[in-house]
Amino acid sequence: MTRFKADLLLLLTALIWGTAFVAQKLGNAKVGPYLFVSGRFALSALLLMPLAYWEARRGRDLRRRDWALSGVIGLTLCAGSTMQQVGLTSTTVTNAGFITTVYIALVPFVAWAILRTALRPLVLVAVIVSLSGAWLLAYHGESAQLNMGDLLVFASAFLYALHIVLVSIFLKVTHRPFFLSLLQYSVTAVIAGAIGFAVESANRQAAQDALPTILYAGLLSGGVGYTLQIVAQRYTPATEAALIMSLESVFAALAAAVVLGERLTQLAAVGCALILLGVVLVEIVPVLVRGRSVNGQIDEMPPIGAAPLD
C-alpha cells in the first residue's frame, strides 16, 4: 500500500469517527447513554472477535500482567466513552467533536505524568491554546455559562489521553492489538450494560428505534474505523496519522450542521480554530524540528503525541 492510499484510509477513518458523533446524539434520543454505549461496543467486540482469534493463533501467550493492564485499559475506555455519551445528552455534536480532540494535546502531558518522558515547553503551549479554544467553544468566553455536558466531554478527553498512553505501554511489550481491542470493547459493553439496566429504562421499541445508530457507531466507528486505522498506520507515521484523524472534529461539525442544523457562533468558531492549532503545534512542529541539523548531525527528536486507538 502506498503512503497516499494509507492517508486516504485515515481520512476515511476520521470521517467515520466524526459522523459517529451524530449517531451518538440521535441514539441518546431513543435509549439511555449507558445502554447505547453497551450496545455499540458489544457489536464492535463481535466484529473484531475473528481477528482476535486469528491473532491469538499466531501470537505468544499472554502473561498475568498483560491481562491486568488490558483490563485497566478497558476500564479507562469504559469511563471515557460513557462520560462522552452522557455529555452528549446536554451538549452539541459540534462541541463534543472539538472538545474531544483536545486529548491529542493532552497525551504528552499524561505520558510525562506516568512515564516521566520529556515534556517540552511546546506541549504546555499547545495545551493552553487547546484549552482556551475549548473554553471559547463551550462557554463563548463566559464562565457563567458552564455546561455539564461540555465538562463531561472534556473529562472524557483526559481519559482518552490516558487510554492512549496505557495502550502504547501494552503494545510495546505485547503486540496483540486485536486482542486488546476485543477485551476493552467487551469490558465496556458489560459494565455500561450493567449500569444501564440498573438506572435506565428500556423497551423493545426503543431498542429497535436506536438500532440504526447503534449499528453505525458499533460496526463502522468501532469495528471498521479501528481496523482501517491499524492497517493504515503501518504506512503512515503516528504523528501524521494523529493529525489526519484529528479532522474527525471537523467532520463532526459538518455532519451536525447538515443533519442536526447546528451552527457555530463567531467565538465558537475561534475556539474550534484554537483547538486545531493546539493539535498542529503538538503534531507538526516536532516533525519540522526533528530534521534540524545540530553540529552537522541530524537531531532526531521523537514525535510528541500519539494517534487515537479507539
> CB 296: neighbour CB atoms within 10 A?
5
| Per-residue pLDDT of the chain in tens (310 residues, 90 and over written 9) | 787 788 888 889 889 988 999 999 999 888 999 999 999 999 999 998 998 999 888 877 889 999 999 999 999 999 999 999 999 998 888 888 888 888 877 888 888 888 887 777 777 787 788 778 877 776 665 554 557 888 899 899 999 989 888 888 888 888 888 899 899 999 999 999 999 999 998 788 888 888 999 999 999 988 888 778 777 867 776 656 676 777 888 888 888 888 888 887 788 788 888 878 877 777 666 666 655 433 433 333 333 333 444 4
How far, in Å, CA of 151 to CA of 134, rounded? 10
Calpha distance 221→84 (Å, rounded):
15
Q: What pLDDT is recorded for position 240?
A: 67
Q: Model confidence over 211-228: pLDDT tens digits?
A: 999 999 999 988 888 778
pLDDT reported for residue 237: 66
Task: Provide the CA 59 distance to its chain's centre, in angstroms.
Answer: 26
pLDDT of residue 139: 63
The predicted structure's pLDDT at residue 216: 93
Per-residue pLDDT at 153:
92
**Predicted local confidence at residue 260, as pLDDT:** 87
Q: Are 103 and 279 spatial neighbours (Cβ–Cβ below 8 Å)?
A: no
Nine-digit cell string for 244: 489526519
User: Looking at the chain, how many residues does it have?
Assistant: 310
CB 171 within 8 A of CB 230: no
pLDDT on residue 140: 60
pTM: 0.82
Q: What is the pLDDT of residue 8?
A: 87
Q: Can you give the pLDDT at residue 298?
A: 32
Q: What is the pLDDT of residue 265?
A: 78
In whole angstroms, what separates CA 24 from the centre of its chain?
14
pLDDT at res. 290: 58
DSSP H stretches of helix in the chain: 3-28, 33-58, 64-87, 93-100, 103-115, 121-139, 148-173, 177-199, 204-215, 226-232, 238-245, 248-255, 266-283, 285-290
pLDDT of residue 91: 87
